[in-house]
Amino acid sequence: MNWLPSDCQTLVEGMQDTGTLHLFEDLVLFFVRKNLQEKVIPQFLESFAKVSCVEMLDALENLYTSMGWFHNYVGNWHNATSLKLQMNQVLKSILKWNAHYRLEESFSKLFACSFQFYVTANERNNYSFHEEGKSDRLLVEWKGFKEEIELSTLENLMERQFKPLVQHWLSELGLVEFFCDDTVMAVLEVEVDRYITKICGGNFEKRWMHSEGAELEHWSNSQVMPWLKLIFHHGFKKEVWTQKLHYILYRSYTKLRISEMLNIITDYPDSTPALHELKFCLQHTRQRPCLIESLKNDITNRVLHPGVSTQNIITVYIAAVKALRELDLSGVVMEMVLEPCTTYLTQREDSVRMIMQGLLWDDGSNDLAAELAKTQEPEEVACWNERVTEKPEDWMPDPREADPNKVDKSTRTSDIVTLFIGMYGSKEKFIKEYQKLLSKRLLQTWYGEKSESSEIRNLELLKKRFGEEDMSKCGVMLKDISDSKRINTYINEEYYKKNSLQNNLNLRTMVVSSQFWPDIPNQEYELPEGITKSLELFNKGFENLKASRSLKWLSSVGMVDIELEFEDRQLEISVNPLQASIIYHFQDEDKWTLSELSDSLKIPPTILRRKMTFWLQQGVLKEIEPDNYVTIEKRPGTTSSNASAPAASGGGVVDASDHFVNLCDEEEDEEKANSDEEEEKKKKNEQVRPNNNIV
């Protein structure tokens, strides 16, 4: 260098002559520091700041060459080894003082380039880059930085510069620990994240770790470990880096699965392998708080909003309970994650109804129906609030994520049905909703002449949940069905024959105990005279059987099988009583106005007009003028050959149970519409009301 004699021996002899030889090392270190600060390091930083990996390696080679001159200069000094170490320390301190973070990021980029190169090399059979169909260029990526390099050029750089860099240059300059440890960890985290996301993302049904032929373990052993051995060379400690690499793998896998947790839940039980591996990783990475917070946010943002139906929310809730219990046996994660879901469901008006409908699923394929059929073992819930175990040494404290203010911990092990009941604090709402559903289901069963065995089964299962006494009314409702069968048999087969009576209508009447049944929607109207006589005759038979009781007919509830004969066709159809009463009037007169028919049936015209729509759709009636209706005796273009054809494409037999359900829905819609209309009028009145208050 310009400030020192070209020969170290000349400097030694000169200092020896002047008696300053004891300052030799200080003098050399001074010139080393001065040269590094003023020339070598500025040039190095300027070149190393370039984005190209090629220029980075050139800058490092120049730095090594410059320091090599100083090392060679003092090679014959009696304390050369110690002096070289001091030179390296000066270099390290200057680099650290000037641009440590910039250098660390640049080294990370360089190491990422080498990692991606060696992975590509291994995939292409040890540097065989010229296979057919393979690109001869490698796209190097690092945190937004991208550089496309010829593979042959990169191969030459790795062999000529990178290998010497990590195996000799950094070691001789004492910069291995300074540059490699943190840099290699940063590169591994990014590259492992990239690889795990690429192969494991969205695939929940396969085991990636701790199984025969596990892909992640094979990749880490065959790709990552050889690269680490190349970087650290003689200083490579396999046990240490195996432990570090496993931790990075577990953390990256956990990070990915946390981001996909809601999808894992919806895919349960197919996603069980992913849950088991995530459970193992959480034990080593302590990312449970992150999982809880992330999943709570995902459920809140993606599930708990008006665009998702209540049924879908319940489905997600059930899947979450099962999946999170698979993940965490303590139940703490489930308890904390599902708290917003529990609160949201209790605020939805139809939640209880949807839950009860799920419990009463006939074929048992529904999750809730299957849960209802299960019986919870008493020992599973005994003393759970105190977390008492048979063996004191088996006791385990709550995880640190648990809410210390939660006194009642029973929800952590309660079955799903109990969890839903516990949302509302009591079972009364569910019992009332079940009574309404049972009422509809029994009426549908009666119309369809089906067995009520499934309802009996459901009732017995619900008695175990709610108790015999609370379900007593429902028991009476089922008993009314069997009693109605006996009453109909007696009246139709014994009473009529005994008294030589004949009923023009084949009545099959369902007799219910009004005080035990919920209110059944009924539209009051006046029945035609011929139908009224048949009902009175049946009523006499009932009073003969039950002397102290009488019947109150719900005139619009039921099913009527009717046959309609026209000039060109016949039509058999099942309708509700009100629709049957409407068409009954047209057998005497072919033409009716809406007001005349309304007066005859004693029903409001607005309701009657809506009911007339059914017969218009069936092609039985026609509105010739506004609110004027006539029967269609003969359709245009028909002949006698198609006399038995249905009246319209929608003709045929209509399911009576649907009529009952539709009637109930219509009644509820009318009540809601009336309520909304009154509320709207009230708001308008408040808006136009003058303010007479004097302040």
Coil/strand/helix, residue 410: helix
How crowded is residue 442: how many other Cβ atoms within 10 Å of its Cβ?
Answer: 21
CA distance 362 to 358: 9
Predicted model pTM:
0.75
CB proximity list for 650: less than 8 A, separation 6 or greater: 617, 618
Which segments of 553-650 are extended strands (E)? 560-565, 570-575, 591-593, 621-625, 628-631
Q: Report the amino acid identity of residue 41.
A: I
The pLDDT, as a whole number, for residue 267 is: 93
Which among 206, 342, 190, 379 has a CA at the least distance from the CA of 277? 206
CA distance 207 to 202: 13
- In the block, residue with structure tokens 């002559």: 17
C-alpha to C-alpha distances, 194 to 191, 200, 249, nearest whole angstrom: 5, 10, 11
Which among 24, 161, 137, 1 has a CA at the least distance from the CA of 70? 1
* Percent helix, percent strand, percent coil in the chain, to nearest 5: 65, 5, 30
The pLDDT, as a whole number, for residue 99 is: 60
β-bridge partners, 147:
140
The pLDDT, as a whole number, for residue 400 is: 64
**Contact, 395 vs 387, CB < 8 A?**
yes
Q: Report the amino acid identity of residue 482.
A: S
Which among 541, 526, 535 has a CA at the least distance from the CA of 504? 535
- Give the helix/strand (H/E) hosting 148: strand 145-150
CA distance 11 to 4: 8
The pLDDT, as a whole number, for residue 612 is: 92
**Contact, 663 vs 557, CB < 8 A?**
yes
β-bridge partners, 254:
none
How crowded is residue 184: how many other Cβ atoms within 10 Å of its Cβ?
Answer: 21
**Contact, 556 vs 576, CB < 8 A?**
yes
Coil/strand/helix, residue 33: helix
DSSP assignments along 412-449, one per residue? GT--HHHHHHHHTSSSHHHHHHHHHHHHHHHHHHHHTT
Q: Which residues of the chain fall short of a pLDDT of 50?
A: 1, 126-133, 377-388, 407, 640-664, 667, 671, 673-695
Q: What is the CA radius of gyration of the chain?
A: 43
**Contact, 66 vs 1, CB < 8 A?**
no
Phi–psi pair at 213, nearest 5 degrees: 75, 25
CA distance 570 to 643: 7
The pLDDT, as a whole number, for residue 383 is: 41
The pLDDT, as a whole number, for residue 163 is: 81
User: Is omega for the bond preceding 269 within 30 degrees of 0, making it cis?
Assistant: yes
**Contact, 421 vs 454, CB < 8 A?**
no
User: Residue 491, class by beta-carbon neighbours within 10 Å (0-12 exposed, 13-18 middle, 19+ buried)?
Assistant: buried
